[in-house]
Structure 1
Amino acid sequence: MDRTQGISRPDAGLETHARVTPPSGDPDNTQLLYSTCTRLWSPRRRVRVDPDRQHRYSATVSIPTQVPEHPWAVYLTDSDQRFRLLGFDFDSGRHGRGVAIEDSDRLASQLTELGVAHLRAHSGPTGGQHVWLRLAEAGADPDTVRKLAHALSQHYPSLDTSALTNPATGAVRPPGTPHRAGGRSTPHLQGRALITALAEVNRGTTPEVVTWLIARHPHVEQHPSPVRHRAVHQIVEDSTGPRLDRPHRSLPHRTEALLGTAPKPGVDRSALAHTILLSMARAGRSLDDARAAVATAPGLIRLREDAARGRDDTERQWSRALARAATFTANSDNAQREPIDDELDAIVHALAATTAHWGRRGGASDERILHALTALARTARTRILDIDCRRLGQTCALDASTVSRRLRVLAGEGWVTLTTPSAGTRAARWTLNLPPDLGAEITSHATQGEPAPASGLGLTPLTHHTHDLWSPLRSGGLGALTARVHWFYRSGVHSVTGLSEQTGYGTGAIEQALTRLRSTGLLRSNATGEQLLGVLETVAQTRGVAGTNARRALRHLVDRELFNWWNEEQEWRSTPGKKRGTRRTTSTGMLALPISAPARVRYGRFPTRSNGRADYFTARAVVSQISSASRSAA
């Protein structure tokens, strides 16, 4: 097979013709659909999840080995953002159940006439419809699929085109997935007909089906809107060396300050050099300008020392900065940036400039929490966040208790401030502070609007550090310390001394981490991006830690349910007058109620011991049992 667990190989295409065999003891096809429509079809090794059933899908996890108990969605594109799946989502919310069914009927008829294998499913209890097909060969490019979505939207009013027009993060719930309002996404076919249809869809259909469908749906062309796009700056070369084909301009004041200031102890001098060269490249400077700066500027001492030791790396680093500057988002005047972007860039750069600081006890968790808060702040467009420890723990792959402890440490160091404590069901409000005065090299990035230098892994630190593989050593993972060593090793720091300087760990700990990485083959792998996640997932499965983060998310979901249930119980008890309420029950045969129903209605009275105190052990069993009953009924 050319695909493992549904992970695409863009250079090989789709060649799999896997047989679909229903597992025994699975009358509702849940395991069959999960193995096929999620694990086999997913173009990426990660899925988006909605553990609290709020339809946010803000977190991603590696594809779990077992069927999750909460909704999830698969991406439609692979790591190259080419569509390997087409999931047509007909929403009943805007025009009603009847229109959604009629629209899906008409599109399915078109596919049948074209001889295209596809699978239809009821998305859940609200009447929405999904139509799925799998693309063979190299998939379809995003622009063509976007054109198809525009054409179809003029014929099918209930079609939700968001996933088809967002190649980076667009995702749809596959067949077999729970719906937040109850039930699951259920195929129209059952039994042998379903098995046959899955086998046909597995073979894939030619990507030309996209153009066929466009031709069958006459439409008014979409006029391009003035959106941000990639600058098309060409790299040219003259007597002064390679440079961008753009006018020579003055360097930003912050870059001038970086050039004229020697790095402080503990600052990542390689990252600082990349920052300076990137800014020089965007200002139209040439290789000769870069060499002249390296010869004298205090801020580029790292490159100057390398040259003195006989390893002149200036030309290679300039080429790297030039290539990146050539593809920067067109926004020369920063007109579309907001102050929040500059502030968050400053925080990210402060984290990169103080990497050795996070080598202290608990520092790896602190660093991860700050990266998670920064990512959430970018989405919320504010540094003031209302977030509870469990939800933050899901984002940074830590237990809620760990997050609670480490937030207090970060508050003591000034990175965050507890603005408003939690109260009842209201989460605590935290302010992500601007970095302290750690030198000009920390805040320069924010002013220039440039992100921190990439590590060469093709991943963000948060995505890398939160993988299941880096679970604690006691659980069978490689540990957070090893994750940080791997990150810097893949960034080009290979010596034990260099890794110790970057991570803040002792040489003994570094050697142990390198031994672990060497034994798993991770030091030999050159994979990046989604391919690297695939390598990490393979090692995680071998070590038995795959799915750790998904299981943690489920525990946090139960914890939140218990918390809400107890608060509702407290409110009910404090209400004056005669008490009337639902009897407590632990029966798994009770009617499954929507997730939006109050906890006290779904679970009854909160269990208590003989002394009147809350019995959380029994309460947790009630939540687990009734949740299981709901899934079985679905």
Structure 2
Amino acid sequence: MRVDPSRTHDYGATMVVPQQAPDYPWAVYLADRDLRFRLLAFDFDSSRLGPDRALADSDRLAAHLDNLGVYFLRAHSGPAGGQHIWIRLGEDGADPAAVRELARVLGQHYATFDTSALRNPAMGAVRPPGAPHRDGGRSVPHLDGAKLQQALKRVGRGTTPEVVTWLLARHPHTSPRPIAAISATVRVSDPTTNPHLDRPRRPLSAATQELLDTTPGKRADRSAITHSIFLGMACAGRTLDDARTAAASAPGLVRLREDRDNGRDDLARQWDRALHRAATFTHLPDDNAPQEPIDEDLDTIERALTVHAVRFAQPGGESDERILYALITFARTARTRTLDIDCRRLAQRAGLAASTISRRLRVLAQTGWVTQTDVAAGTRAASWTLNLPPKGWEDAAATQGNPPPALTPAPTLLAHHTHDLWTPRPGLGAAAARIHWALLGGARTPEKIAGATGYSLKTVEKTLQRLCSVHLGGLGPASAESVKGELHAAAKELGLTEVSAGRRERHIVDRELYAWWNDEQAWRRRKGKKRGPKRNAGMATTLALPIDGPARIKYGRFPTKPGGRADYRTARDTVRGYLAPAERVAA
């Protein structure tokens, strides 16, 4: 098991399960040595949206499991109000790729769901019932006494691994872009005996060498450090044998030696993971390699947004800024500026309504920022190209030889700007988000904030007063975690902790309605005698399908009004009933 003796949320140390459980936090692995999942632990975190939302999300998943006839155990994870749901798998366990896909899909449905443990079969671990929490208290089951003993007996029998497929069927989702669609430019040589990239061997980058030579601190994410080192070594043409040699003594790879000493030699899998990442994505953290054209283009776009930030202080400008930063994050991942993306997916990344995305994309197309290269057709999203800065938006300082401004990473800015606190009234609004961001960036007076954001001095002063009213007007240095906590506290005070979760649910319902109506239309156009399920608006609230199927099979015939027109209100209620089963939750 993995242990955290220092109570710092660092489970880097491992140990054989002792006869007496330790009095500090400990966690059990979810997968076996063959990396097949024997346990499923669904972790709902209360740190961002609060304990009420974590409990509501876990209630919804528990209702799905209950309707599917799956035995599970629920637990309060600790004093902060987080929730755990445990399932024991029988037979040979579940395939890690299927569990990883389930984690991705559940992340689309539950705003508080933590996917990390289910996405990492080698290291994924969760504190079981009874394990202490670093902030005090323990993980405590919802049940006690005879009911708890009965639940443990039922769960102990194990559930078929098909539960992974059943849950995927119960949670409508969009498929990720296949890896094959992203250009792979480097071949892996000698894949069976000594795998490495088919590229010349060259010195390691300064960043990779520093990671190799430095022992990770107690709070460091050693797994991430190992991956970064192997990624840099793969880019430099190193081989699996080189990785083994480095792991034998390099301070930065101490995690691999600890795992090996505890009977989990994970080096080959970690190297394979880094190697295939390096082969698929040509842009990798390597100080010695020149930037690729796609990264230079995206840096140019992002620099223009930074230099001309004041130009977004106009009606609709804040939305345009978020959309452009969101498109940059998608483009950096896809390695192309031409993206197939629907409005709802972009809306979730930018923290806006889908209707706002649709409207502002047309405005951005008129101003030259984006170009629609292909229209939407059926279930295929429209294709958009993110253009280089239009005329008048160039980085004048850079072209004149002055050093360009430091770029703020788009994900960091979006994480701040898309917080529930910045929604329109009763939230503080998008302008307040930009003013608070300038405050965090070092602007210390209303005049400097006005100059950085483009708003009038009167607007800035009025907004600063509102920020102070929710305890966000401090000027001292603050860590990312403390800022996150302050934003959540302010959102909770204003009753805004479920805005993004509600938007996520609406987008999923809209997708299902669209698919249902398309199925209905196809059924009506079909020639010959038509057979199908009866029209029953309440059908989906009680039916629990253990397999996936067309929307018309899941929900029945699309409801209509007396005149024959589609009844979207009833249809929406039906889909919601399917996504959030009736409260019949096994504790």
Q: TM-score range by the shorter chain?
A: 0.5 to 0.7
Give the Å deviation of 1:482: 0.3
Per mean C-alpha deviation after superposition, the further-off stretch among 418-427 and 393-402 is 418-427
Q: Which residue of the partner structure matches residue 216 of structure 1?
A: 262
Task: Indicate whether 1:566 and 2:520 are aligned.
Answer: no
Residue type of the alignment partner of 1:404: S
CA distance in 1, matches of 2:563, 2:294: 52
CA distance in 2, matches of 1:333, 1:27: 48
Q: Pick from 287, 304, 308: which aligns with 1:331?
A: 287
Q: Which residue of the partner structure matches residue 36 of structure 1?
A: 77
Task: Indicate whether 1:606 and 2:558 are aligned.
Answer: yes
Distance 1:384 1:408, change over 3 A: same
Residue type of the alignment partner of 1:36: S
CA distance in 2, matches of 1:492, 1:539: 21
Distance 1:209 1:368, change over 3 A: closer
Q: Which residue of the partner structure matches residue 499 of structure 1?
A: 449
Distance 1:356 1:213, change over 3 A: closer
Contact 1:140-1:210 at 8 Å conserved across structures: no
Task: Indicate whether 1:423 and 2:377 are aligned.
Answer: yes
Distance 1:141 1:404, change over 3 A: closer
CA distance in 2, matches of 1:226, 1:212: 19
Alpha-carbon displacement from aligned partner over 1:229-255 (angstroms, at most 9, x marks no partner):
xxxxxxxxxxxxxxxxxxxxxxxxxxx
Partner SS for 1:498:
helix
Contact 1:351-1:367 at 8 Å conserved across structures: yes
Distance 1:55 1:452, change over 3 A: farther
Task: Indicate whether 1:469 and 2:424 are aligned.
Answer: no
Q: Which residue of the partner structure matches residue 95 of structure 1?
A: none
Give the Å deviation of 1:523: 2.1
Task: Indicate whether 1:534 and 2:485 are aligned.
Answer: yes
How do 1:315-330 and structure 2 match up within 5 A?
330=286
Q: Which residue of the partner structure matches residue 363 of structure 1?
A: 317
Instruction: In structure 2, list runs of 5 or more residues that go unmatched.
Output: 1-6, 11-22, 27-50, 64-71, 84-99, 128-155, 166-216, 231-253, 276-283
Q: Which residue of the partner structure matches residue 280 of structure 1?
A: none
Task: Indicate whether 1:411 and 2:365 are aligned.
Answer: yes
Task: Report how many residues are paired.
Answer: 398
Contact 2:60-2:580 at 8 Å conserved across structures: no
Give the Å deviation of 1:461: 1.2
Give the Å deviation of 1:535: 1.9
Distance 1:218 1:520, change over 3 A: closer
Q: Which residue of the partner structure matches residue 406 of structure 2?
A: 453
Q: Which residue of the partner structure matches residue 440 of structure 2?
A: 490
Contact 2:339-2:385 at 8 Å conserved across structures: yes
TM-score by length of 2: 0.57
Contact 1:349-1:442 at 8 Å conserved across structures: no
Q: What percentage of residue pairs aligned between the two structures are identical?
A: 38
Give the Å deviation of 1:528: 2.5
Contact 1:584-1:605 at 8 Å conserved across structures: yes
Give the Å deviation of 1:526: 3.0
CA distance in 2, matches of 1:545, 1:500: 27
CA distance in 2, matches of 1:406, 1:499: 26
Q: Pick from 527, 531, 541: which aligns with 1:576?
A: 527
Residue type of the alignment partner of 1:453: A
Distance 1:84 1:479, change over 3 A: farther
Residue type of the alignment partner of 1:462: L
CA distance in 2, matches of 1:121, 1:37: 25
Q: Which residue of the partner structure matches residue 86 of structure 1?
A: 125
Distance 1:422 1:29, change over 3 A: closer
CA distance in 2, matches of 1:574, 1:74: 42
Contact 1:389-1:404 at 8 Å conserved across structures: yes
CA distance in 2, matches of 1:390, 1:471: 17
Partner SS for 1:586:
coil
Give the Å deviation of 1:497: 2.5
Distance 1:436 1:443, change over 3 A: farther
Contact 1:568-1:599 at 8 Å conserved across structures: yes
Alpha-carbon displacement from aligned partner over 1:104-145 (angstroms, at most 9, x marks no partner):
xxxxxxxxxxxxxxx9997964479xxxxxxxx956751599
CA distance in 2, matches of 1:59, 1:361: 36
Give the Å deviation of 1:602: 0.5
Alpha-carbon displacement from aligned partner over 1:334-379 (angstroms, at most 9, x marks no partner):
1xx3211111111111111111111010111110011111111111
Partner SS for 1:430:
strand
Per mean C-alpha deviation after superposition, the further-off stretch among 210-219 and 353-362 is 210-219
Partner SS for 1:378:
helix
CA distance in 2, matches of 1:583, 1:511: 61
Residue type of the alignment partner of 1:551: G
Task: Indicate whether 1:511 and 2:461 are aligned.
Answer: yes
Give the Å deviation of 1:443: 9.4
CA distance in 2, matches of 1:628, 1:523: 39
Distance 1:402 1:213, change over 3 A: same
Give the Å deviation of 1:503: 1.5
Distance 1:220 1:544, change over 3 A: closer
RMSD between aligned alpha carbons?
4.8
Contact 1:38-1:74 at 8 Å conserved across structures: no
Residue type of the alignment partner of 1:72: F
Give the Å deviation of 1:542: 1.8
CA distance in 1, matches of 2:410, 2:298: 20
Alpha-carbon displacement from aligned partner over 1:11-33 (angstroms, at most 9, x marks no partner):
xxx9789xx9xx99989978994
Give the Å deviation of 1:616: 0.3
TM-score by length of 1: 0.53
CA distance in 1, matches of 2:264, 2:104: 34
Partner SS for 1:629:
coil
Q: Pick from 467, 472, 480: which aligns with 2:430?
A: 480
Contact 2:223-2:255 at 8 Å conserved across structures: no
Give the Å deviation of 1:56: 7.8
Residue type of the alignment partner of 1:489: L
Give the Å deviation of 1:440: 5.7
Give the Å deviation of 1:543: 1.6
Alpha-carbon displacement from aligned partner over 1:403-433 (angstroms, at most 9, x marks no partner):
1111111111111112222222221111111
Residue type of the alignment partner of 1:217: G
CA distance in 1, matches of 2:346, 2:374: 16
Q: Which residue of the partner structure matches residue 392 of structure 1?
A: 346
How do 1:182-201 and structure 2 match up within 5 A?
none
Partner SS for 1:436:
coil
Q: Which residue of the partner structure matches residue 167 of structure 1?
A: none
CA distance in 1, matches of 2:580, 2:60: 16
Partner SS for 2:580:
helix
CA distance in 1, matches of 2:160, 2:405: 41
CA distance in 2, matches of 1:554, 1:34: 25
How do 1:55-66 and structure 2 match up within 5 A?
57=104
Runs of 4+ in 1 over 6 A off after TM superposition: 7-10, 14-17, 23-32, 58-61, 119-124, 208-212, 223-228
Q: Pick from 547, 562, 578: which aligns with 1:626?
A: 578
Distance 1:436 1:140, change over 3 A: closer
Residue type of the alignment partner of 1:86: A
